[in-house]
Amino acid sequence: MMGFHSRRVPTGVPDFDAIVKGGLPEGSVVLLLGDIGSGQHEFVYTSAYALATVKENPFLGESMLGSFCDFEAIPDNICYVTFSRSRHDIMREIATSFERPFHNVLSRKMKFKDLSAHYYKKSLVPPSWTGDDNGGTLFASSPKENVLEALIQFLDEAPKQSMIIIDSLTDLVVNENIEISELVSVLRGIQRISKHWGGIIYIILTQGIMDKQQQQMLVDSVDGVLVFEWSHFHRSSKRMRYLYIEKFMNVLPYLDDKKLARFPAMVSARRGMTVLNMDRY
């Protein structure tokens, strides 16, 4: 059982890790909430790439993560759970969005769990559309478990001390076969047991996809919420990504009292997501 003073897991975004004193508390379930294209996926791709690279090449630790990080807290495994997107689609997105090292490292180190057969179980989507990426034999019969049961089983059997990316909660919210109350119960269960698993769990959710009361129920069921948003310049077509901490009891008290937890961020093909500096609002 973990002690009260848990380690901090680096996010792999060095400037952000420096601000939050080395990373996010080990065992945290973190909701990545934001507008479409505002940075949730870029954040997890950057995080996975940086941590996987340092895990393979520890001598790159300080240059990629900074000297303030606890390198022993880097997750042993990176797992990507998807409900509606295939591994091929995700890796193609990475290949076309970032320079080659991102794709090379993540294709080797990121393990995928595709739950699309469970997700589309009671839909009009035929089993032939949810087969494996290699064009092999498709599911001969519908899986017995529903998608939440399949997710629970995977998480329960996944290696401990892992970074797990769940892409995305949006898919589950819009699924008519899933009750919000049931989804909230599962999230609260994950949030409770994750403290024994260690590592960190990121869950992606699109902003505005559900009403405020339901969204708040989900927010209340996780340890922390990182919000990604677009901000438009006055009288200009330009816009800037922003990242801010909406909820994180174990992080917010450690921030400088003179600074507010909202950070301008940019995404480049070479470095992925980069936090520019602190911003006041």
- Listed by start position, the domains of the chain span 8-275
Task: Return d(Cα 141, Cα 123) in angstroms, integer.
Answer: 14
Chain segment 27-46, per-residue pLDDT in tens? 999 999 999 889 999 999 99
pTM for the full model? 0.90
User: pLDDT at position 207, please?
Assistant: 93
- Number of CB atoms found within 10 A of residue 124's CB: 6
User: pLDDT at position 261, please?
Assistant: 64
Chain segment 177-231, per-residue pLDDT in tens? 899 999 999 999 999 999 999 999 999 999 989 999 999 999 999 999 999 999 8
Chain segment 263-276, per-residue pLDDT in tens? 899 999 999 999 98
Chain segment 46-74, per-residue pLDDT in tens? 999 999 999 999 999 999 998 888 999 99
Give Cα separations from 47 to 42, 74, 250 (angstroms).
8, 11, 20
Residue with tokens 């601000």: 19
Q: Which of the four pLDDT bands, split at 50, 70 and 90, describes residue 254? A: low
Residue with tokens 């003179």: 258
φ, ψ at 154 (rounded to 5°): -60, -50
Strands 110-114, 28-34: pairing is unpaired
Q: What top-level class would CATH report for the domain 8-275?
A: alpha beta
Task: Return d(Cα 98, Cα 94) in angstroms, integer.
Answer: 6
- Number of CB atoms found within 10 A of residue 271's CB: 17
Chain segment 85-114, per-residue pLDDT in tens? 999 999 999 999 999 999 999 999 999 999
What interhelical angle do 40-56 and 87-97 show, nearest 10?
A: 90
- Assigned token pair, 194: 């994750």
